Amino acid sequence: MATTDTPGAEAAAFYRQHGWYATGTVLPDELLDRANDVLSGLDADHRDLEPPASMKEFLAWPAGEPRPTRLNQYIALQYRAMADLAAHPALARTAALLTGSSRLRIFNTALIRKRPGAARQYARVGWHCDRAYWSTCSSDRMTTAWVPLQDTTVSMGTLTVLDGSHTWPDTAEISALRTARTFVTEDHDALWSRLDSLRSEAVTVDVRRIELRRGQVSFHHPLTVHGSGANHGAIARNAISVHYQDAANRYLPATEADGTPASYVHDEFVRRLPNGEPDYADPEICPPVWPPAG
Ligand SMILES: O=C(O)CCC(=O)C(=O)O
C-alpha cells in the first residue's frame, strides 16, 4: 500500500494487518539532496555533528569500502542532514500513528549502503526481525522507517518483507526465526529453507518487494521478517533505517539462549539510571522526536 495523502486510520489498519506500510512522497527533495551530499563525502574524520566521546572508537571506520554492504550505525548522531531526516515530522508522525504512541524517541539510526554487485559476500541482507536485536527493550511498540535516498527498484535490492509475518504463531520454529540475528549471514539459502519449511505449519510466506520512489518511506513492525537482495543496478542503493521507540520503552534485563546476559549496542554508551541500568531515554543518544519540539 502506497498513498500520497497524510497517513490516517487506514494506514494504521494496514500496518496492523500486514506488518509494513509504504507512504507516498513525504520527504522534501532539499533534505534528500543534503543526505546524498553527506554520502558522497562520507568520511569519519569530517562529521558535521559531534557524537558522544564514548562512541569514538566504535564509530571509527577504515578508509575505503571494505564490503559491498556497509552499515554505519548512529548516522544521525554524526551528520546534521541525517538527524533532520530521522526527526522529520512526516516520519515521526507516521511512526506514532502506526504504533499507536503519543510520544516517540529515536532508538537508533543506521546507513545501509549497497554498492552494485551480485556475487559478492555480504551483498544481501539476511532475513531477520528487528526484535531479535532488541531483546533488552521492554516495548512492543517500536517500529523502523526505511528511507531510501534514491528511487529503489527490485533489481537494486529494495527492502523485502514477508507480508503478515508479525502475526505468525509463536511456534518453536517461528520463535527461533524471530530471535535469530541474521541481518549479516553467509548462508541465505539455509535461511530461505527454514522459511520455506514453515509452509507446512499453515503459514503463508508472502514475499513483498517494496519498490519506492525517492521521498517515499516504508515502515516495518519489529516482528516482520525482512531482508533484501543484491544490488544489480548501476548505482549504489543507499538507505537510512530509523528505529523509533515509544516513551515507555526501557531497558529490561534479558538473557541469550546460552544464558549469558543480552545487550544492545547502546548499553555501553547511554547514561545510567540510578539503579545502574542503561537509560534508553538518554536525550543525547535517543532524542525525543514526537511530538515535535515547540
Ligand atoms: O537496508 C536493508 O536492506 C535492510 C534494512 C533493515 O534490515 C532494517 O531497516 O531493519
The closest residue, in CA terms, to atom 9 on ligand 1 is 241
Number of domains the chain is built from: 1
Q: Is the CB of 112 under 6 A from ligand 1?
A: yes
Q: What is the percentage of the chain residues whose pLDDT exceeds 90?
A: 74
The alpha carbon of 241 and the centre of ligand 1 are apart by a number of angstroms equal to 6
What average pLDDT score do residues 167-182 get?
A: 92
Q: Is the CB of 160 under 6 A from ligand 1?
A: no
Instruction: Let me know if residue 90 belongs to a domain.
Output: yes
Query: Residue 61: pLDDT above 90?
Result: no
Q: Which residues are CB-contacts of 134 (< 8 A; sequence separation ≥ 6)? A: 107, 142, 222, 264
Instruction: Let me know if residue 210 belongs to a domain.
Output: yes
CA end-to-end span of the chain: 32
Cis peptide before 291 (omega within 30 of 0): yes
pLDDT for 2 equals 47
State the closest ligand 1 atom to the C-alpha of 239, by its place in the atom list counted from 1.
1
Instruction: Let me know if residue 47 belongs to a domain.
Output: yes
Instruction: Let me know if residue 126 belongs to a domain.
Output: yes
pLDDT in tens, 95-127: 999 999 999 999 999 999 998 886 666 789 999
pLDDT for 187 equals 85
What average pLDDT score do residues 251-274 get?
A: 94
Instruction: Let me know if residue 280 belongs to a domain.
Output: no
Instruction: Let me know if residue 110 belongs to a domain.
Output: yes
Instruction: Let me know if residue 108 belongs to a domain.
Output: yes
The alpha carbon of 24 and the centre of ligand 1 are apart by a number of angstroms equal to 19
Residue-range definition of the domain harbouring residue 130: 9-249
Domain of 14, CATH number, reads 2.60.120.620
The alpha carbon of 71 and the centre of ligand 1 are apart by a number of angstroms equal to 10
Q: Is the CB of 134 under 6 A from ligand 1?
A: no
Instruction: Let me know if residue 105 belongs to a domain.
Output: yes
pLDDT in tens, 179-224: 999 998 888 888 888 888 887 777 899 999 999 999 999 999 999 9
